Amino acid sequence: MRYVITGGAGFIGSNMSRTLLDQGHEVVVIDNLSTGAIQNIESLVDQPGFCFVNQDVTEAFGVEGQVDRVMHLASPASPADFDRLSLEILAVGSDGTRHCLDLAMAKGARFFLASTSEVYGDPLVHPQPESYFGNVNPVGPRGVYDESKRFAEALTFAYNRRFGLDVRVVRIFNTFGPNMRIDDGRAITNFLWQALTGAPITIYGDGSQTRSFCYVDDEVRGLLALNESNCKGPVNIGSTFEFTLSELADIVLEVTGSSSPIEYLPLPEDDPARRRPDLTLATAELGWEPTVEVREGVARTAQYFRKLLATSDSG
C-alpha cells in the first residue's frame, strides 16, 4: 500500500515510516520540520518506495498518484512547546486535519488521526476509558493542544458521518524511544540527558504525579493494528505500566548508572495528576498489548541518546 504520513520526520512518525517500509509498503512523509528532524529519516531516504516532502499541512496540499492510507501524525506534542507553538498547534489540529481529511476523500483513502490522552485533561476517572469525556481547561496553557486534538477528533467523525469517509482515531498515551528530540522538554528525555551528562534530574512538583510509559515499537505496532482493524475508535493505545515521576527518575538513574542529584522545581499549571489508559477496547478489538518493560525501553533509549551526545560532542 502507499501511505502518506504527516509528521513522518517526527518521533512516532519516523518510527512508523521505518516499520511500514520494512513491511514493503511505500511511504510519503510530509513534514515541515518544525519539531521533526531530517536526521530521523536520513536512513530511509535511499530506500525504495520512500519520499519526503517539506510541507506545512496547515497550507492546502496535494499528493500525486495513488494513496491508500493518510496517517495524520503531524503536531508539536511536548508540553514544553505548548506556549512557543500555541497557534501552530491549533492550526495543525484544525486546518491541518481538514487538509488531510480532504486528501483522504480525494484519494478514496482511509484516514487515521493520531489523537492523545490529553483529551482527558487532568482526569477525574482512573484509569481512563474511551467513554470518559475528560476534564480539560480550555483556557489553560495545555488547552491549545488538548482542544486542538479534541477538535480534530470532532472533525474526523464529522467527515465520517457526513461523507462516509473511512476513519480510525487513536488516543496515544506517553510514548518514548529513539528519535525523540533530546531537548523536547519531556520527562523521559530530560531525565535521560540529565543522567547521561551528570546534570541534576529536574522533578516538577513532589514527583507523586503518575504517567504510564509505552515504548515506541509497541506503540507503532498498536497504531498499525488499529489502522487495519474494523474499529474506527477512538481507541487508547499506551502502556499500563504506571509510575510516579519519582519512580521514573530512580529507574533512569539505575539504568544509566548515573549519580545525578535530584532537583525539585515547581509543577506546571494544569499538570495532570494521574494517567493510565484503560486498554479493554484495544485488547478486545486488536488483541494488542504492550510488551516492552519500562526498564528495557529506558535502556534502549539511553543507548540512542548516548550515541547522539557522543556525535554532538565530537561534532
Q: Applying CB under 6 A, which residues contact ligand UDP?
A: 78-79, 174, 186-187, 190, 202-204, 209, 211, 245, 267-268, 271
**Which of 267, 309 has the CB closer to ligand UDP?**
267
Query: Would residue 145 show up in a list of annotated catalytic residues for this protein?
Result: yes
CB atoms within 10 A of CB 65: 9
Q: Which residue among 3, 145, 159, 215 is the active-site one?
A: 145
The least distance separating ligand UDP from the CB of residue 159, rounded to whole angstroms, comes to: 27
**Which of 27, 255 has the CB closer to ligand UDP?**
255
**Which of 111, 213 has the CB closer to ligand UDP?**
213
The least distance separating ligand UDP from the CB of residue 75, rounded to whole angstroms, comes to: 13
Distance CA 130, CA 161 (A): 19
The least distance separating ligand UDP from the CB of residue 105, rounded to whole angstroms, comes to: 31
The alpha carbon torsion through 241, 217, 177, 140 (nearest 10 deg) reads -60
**Which of 209, 236 has the CB closer to ligand UDP?**
209
Q: Quick check: 185 and 175 in contact, CB under 8 A?
A: no
The least distance separating ligand UDP from the CB of residue 206, rounded to whole angstroms, comes to: 10
**Which of 36, 76 has the CB closer to ligand UDP?**
76
Distance CA 26, CA 10 (A): 18
CA proximity to 174, closest of 204, 215, 142: 215
The least distance separating ligand UDP from the CB of residue 160, rounded to whole angstroms, comes to: 27
CA 286 to chain centre: 19
Catalytic (active-site) positions: 145
